[in-house]
Amino acid sequence: MPLRIDPIDTASTALIVVDMQNHFLAPGAPLESRAGREMIPTLCRAIALCRERGMPVVYTRQLHRQDGTDRRLSKHFWDRDAGSDGLIDGAQGAEIHPGLAPEDGDLVVPKYRYSAFYGTDLDRRLRDLGIDTVIIGGVTTENCCHATARDAFFRDFQVGFLADATATFDYPDIGHGAMSAAQVHQASLVILAASTADVMSTDDLVARTSGARTM
């Protein structure tokens, strides 16, 4: 039976905002997700709701080291990003998009791999806050959002995944066929719903927290 988190307990749930950085959202950026930019108002709605209801908001930032030592394998997969320094800490591309910047009290977690849990202290920080459920929004659906959802599941967190507040980009044909952003997004949601997460809308998030207990 698919996972259903209803109601969502606001006292034990956090929102993870994955990699909403200029490198993925700014027009013309190397890994631009137009769909990601378009869903910013929806994700902002989810962020505002969580802050209003006392739920922790966690932002992740995908970063590269200046010397490039963390890119040994990833460089084989992202030709569009080759030679870019947009995700080096301090670069404009590495900053959270100004349309949804963190506020005082939000957690900001730097990471060097797709998952927000890999090599970070996110697990400990969430457990210190009494969190056992995470809601995920951000970019990209199939990479960092998916990896973070899977890693949370592996660690026994309940996972909610916002279908209308996650997004990706088109994939070119590299020998196995091309996929549009919409196709990649849909395929990822189907897989996550069947194996990992409660795939929900932002409207669902609003409805399921409306009667939940608060801190």
Helix, strand, coil tally for the chain in percent (to 5):
40, 20, 40
Per-residue pLDDT, averaged over 194-204, amounts to 98
Decide if 74 is inside a domain. Answer: yes
Whether the per-residue pLDDT at 149 is higher than 70: the answer is yes
Taking residues 36-64, report their average pLDDT: 97
Residue 159 CA to residue 176 CA, distance in Å, equals: 30
Within-domain flag for 150:
yes
In a domain, 137, yes or no: yes
Mean of pLDDT values over 25-41: 95
Strand segments (E) across the chain = 13-18, 57-62, 107-111, 133-139, 158-167, 198-200
At 203, the pLDDT band (50, 70, 90 cuts) reads very high
pLDDT at 78: 52
89 assigned to some structural domain: yes
pTM above 0.95, yes or no: no
In a domain, residue 7? The reply is: no
For every residue of 71-124, which 3-state class applies, written as one string? HCCHHHCCHHHCCCCCCECCCHHHCECHHHCCCCCCEEEEECCCCCCCCCCHHH
The answer to the question of residue 144 being in a domain is: yes
Query: Nearest CA to 127 among 204, 15, 37, 14?
Result: 14
Q: What are the distances in angstroms from CA 182 to CA 114, 167, 169?
A: 20, 8, 8
Interatomic CA distance for residues 84 and 155, integer angstroms: 33
At 92-135, the pLDDT tens digits run: 999 999 999 999 999 999 999 999 999 999 999 999 999 999 99
Q: How far apart are the first and last CA of the chain?
A: 30
Please check whether residue 149 is in contact with residue 191, taking contact to mean a CB–CB distance below 8 angstroms.
no
Mean predicted confidence (pLDDT) in 26-54: 96
- What is the set of active-site residues? 19, 111, 144
The per-residue pLDDT of the chain, averaged, comes to: 91
Taking residues 50-60, what's their average pLDDT?
97
Express each pLDDT in 151-189 by its tens digit.
Answer: 999 999 999 999 999 999 999 998 999 999 999 999 999
> Does 31 fall in a domain?
yes
* pLDDT-above-90 percentage for the chain: 81
Report the distance separating Cα 188 and Cα 142, nearest Å: 6
Its domain, for residue 200, covers 13-209
Domain annotation covers residue 42: yes
CATH number at residue 134: 3.40.50.850
pLDDT value at position 77? 52
- Domains contained in the chain, number: 1
Q: Which pLDDT score, from 0 to 100, does residue 1 have?
A: 79
Alpha carbon 36 to its chain centroid, in Å, reads 11
Which of 52, 48, 61 has its CA nearest to residue 138?
A: 61
Q: Of the candidates 76, 176, 190, 74, which has an alpha carbon nearest to the alpha carbon of residue 141? A: 190
